[in-house]
Amino acid sequence: MLKQFLNFKLSQKLSPQQIQLMKLIQLPTQAFEQRLKEELIENPALEDTKEEDEYESDEYEREEYEDDYNDDEYDRIETDEINIDEYLSNDETPDYKLHSNNYSDDDEDRTMPIAASVTFHQDLLNQLNTFILSEDEKNIAEFLVGSIDDIGYIRRSIIDIVDDLAFTQGIYTDEANVEKILHIVHELEPAGVGARNLQECLLLQLKHKTPTEFIDLAKDIIINQFDAFTKKHYEKLLQKYNVSKEFLKKGIEEIEKLNPKPGGAYSGNNRIIEHVVPDYTIKIVDGELELTLNNRNAPELHVSKDYQNMLQGYKNSKDKSNSQKDAVQFIKQKLDSAKWFIDAIKQRQETLLVTMNAILFYQEEYFLEGDETKIRPMILKDIADMVGLDISTVSRVANSKYVETPYGTKLIKEFFSESMKNDQGEDVSTIEIKKILQNIVEAENKKKPYPDDKLAKILKEKGYPIARRTVAKYREQLDIPVARMRKKI
């Protein structure tokens, strides 16, 4: 038998306006500009002051118009859930244009020139035209070039390529013929392109070099002692070749000069290059820190004058048809959307500034001196408590945002770190420990690099008692290889 009962439940839900604000806050400058352009296209009631010449040339008429619809002589007219005066009066919304005085005077809209050059693969195909090949050989060579990945390798086996040539190109050949054409591809520039593995890539590059005794040694190492070389077993190599350390060092230096990613070094390669636009700028003026927000985050927006005129016309008209009411309902929706978007932008600016000001105050010592060891341990909750915002909001502000400092452009989230106790019981940032660890590794004797337990011992002597596994974790985060891989002859 079914039973019916009442249950009270308290829940919180974000309004559409709050969701819109949260989405805007997490956008960096470039993404925000794109979002702004999309909104200007979607909402005809929203206009950019910079793009409206009539608002620059007809300043007097605009002021006169604003005085007209702000005049108290108009009586409030109620129509089917639409209050026209609400949209014609600026009593509740004093200014539809957002202005911000907090941005750099020398801020410029910098654009990146795009080079009109051929692609990596197209350049390889152009080089094939310098070889005398039959029609089938040319088709096979072009197919091989198409099989090369962006860093310059062919990752597929010859037998698979033979099968693909038969099924997709209608070219029936054998492995020996494809191998012969592959040797032609190996003659293309940059040297090493078309290799099937790292060993072959390095060997192809060595073959392009002028032969010397050191080049010959390097070739023999790659061909016969590649495993010992990759594992840096230098003692084994010395015994194998019976040469001096200096001679072996010269041969290894020839290998270290080679490029393991020949395709990645090609200037015409279609690589995605991220253009970072700082969201903030921090300057030191007379010994004081000065924070400014990128002015591209402070657009000048207003509600369309034409839409306001349409509402004014509807208010003054005596006969109001159903079509006019539908049009006014549409205008109302667009005006609401424009108002919410403008308010969200203003709140976004305020949130970005107040959050970054708190980070600036918290890390003041670092921003004044530029010493990374001065970065204080700081988590999202520390800043959230200072500014009275939710942790998720602070996280959105820090996400993908950059600040230009006197010491370079920094990712804001890099200033957040956990704390650890030093030997004096003081809280220190993990960033400080990583910086000291990096300095120790850079200063070590590369002939006898420190293992992790030795690094942990040195850090302990410096006042940072951390475990060996913690040292290993920080070393990996800093992209520092193990001691054996750091060894130099």
Same domain, 131 and 226: yes
Structure tokens at 167: 């099924």
CA torsion sign for 418, 399, 15, 351 is positive
Rounded mean pLDDT of the chain? 80
Domain stop point among 391, 410, 443 = 391
Sequence-ordered list of residues with C-beta below 8 angstroms from that of 315, at least 6 positions apart, any chain: 74, 77, 84, 85, 88
Q: What is the pLDDT of residue 265?
A: 62
The reply to whether 468 and 362 lie within a common domain is no
Q: Distances in Å between the alpha carbon of 171 and those of 137, 165, 174, 181, 183?
A: 10, 5, 10, 14, 19
| Under 8 Å between Cβ of 46 and 341 | yes
| More confident call, 4 vs 261 | 261
Query: Does 275 map to a domain?
Result: no
Q: Give the whole-angstrom CA distance, residue 452 versus residue 470.
A: 9
288 part of a folded domain: no
Give yes or no: residues 169 and 125 share one domain. Answer: yes
- Say how many domains are in the chain: 3
Q: What is the pLDDT of residues 378-394, one digit of tens each?
A: 889 999 999 998 898 89
Distance CA 291, CA 283 (A): 7
Residues 40 and 69 in one domain: yes
- Whether residue 396 lies inside any domain: the answer is no
More confident of the two residues 315 and 32: 32
Contacts of 450 (CB under 8 A, 6+ apart): 440, 441, 444, 458, 483
Range of lowest pLDDT (181-195, 196-210, 311-325, 383-397)? 311-325
Phi, psi of 48 (to 5 degrees): -95, 125
Query: Do residues 218 and 325 share a domain?
Result: no
Please give the Cα distance from 137 to 123 (Å, whole number).
18
Instruction: Give which of 304, 302, 303, 325 is closest to 315, Cα–Cα.
Output: 325
pLDDT at 108 over 80: no
**DSSP 8-state assignment for residue 449:** P
In a domain, 400, yes or no: no
Distance CA 263, CA 150 (A): 6
Query: Is the residue at 216 inside a domain?
Result: yes
Report the percent of the chain where pLDDT is more than 70.
Answer: 80
Beta strands 419-421; 427-429: pairing state? antiparallel
Highest mean pLDDT: which of 11-20, 62-71, 308-317, 455-464?
455-464
Same domain, 250 and 150: yes
Specify whether 159 is located in the same domain as 248. Answer: yes
Residues 329 and 360 reside in one and the same domain: yes
- Do 22 and 147 have their domain in common? no
Distance CA 104, CA 189 (A): 46
Q: 368 and 446 share a domain?
A: no
Distance CA 302, CA 54 (A): 13
Those residues whose C-beta lies under 8 Å from the C-beta of residue 317, and which sit 6 or more positions away, are 324
Long-range contacts of 132-138 (CB under 8 A, 24+ apart): 133/184, 136/171, 136/173, 137/181
pLDDT bracket for residue 85 (50, 70, 90): low
- 4 vs 386: which has the higher pLDDT: 386
Asked if residue 261 belongs to a domain, the reply is no
Helix/strand/coil percentages in the chain, nearest 5: 55, 10, 40
The pLDDT value recorded for residue 97 is 40
pTM of the model: 0.59
Please state the separation of Cα 72 from the chain's center in Å. 52
DSSP state of 375: P
Residues 90 and 159 in one domain: no
Helices in 43-100 by DSSP H: which ranges?
Answer: 54-57, 59-69, 84-88
- Judged by DSSP in three states, 159 sits in helix
Which residue range forms the structural domain that includes residue 386?
16-104+293-391
Same domain, yes or no, for 333 and 224? no
In this structure, what token pair is assigned to residue 127? 């080089």
Structure confidence by residue, pLDDT tens digits, 225-258? 999 998 888 889 999 999 998 999 999 999 999 9
Give me the mean pLDDT over the 118-136 stretch.
87
Choose among 50, 47, 26: nearest CA to 295.
50
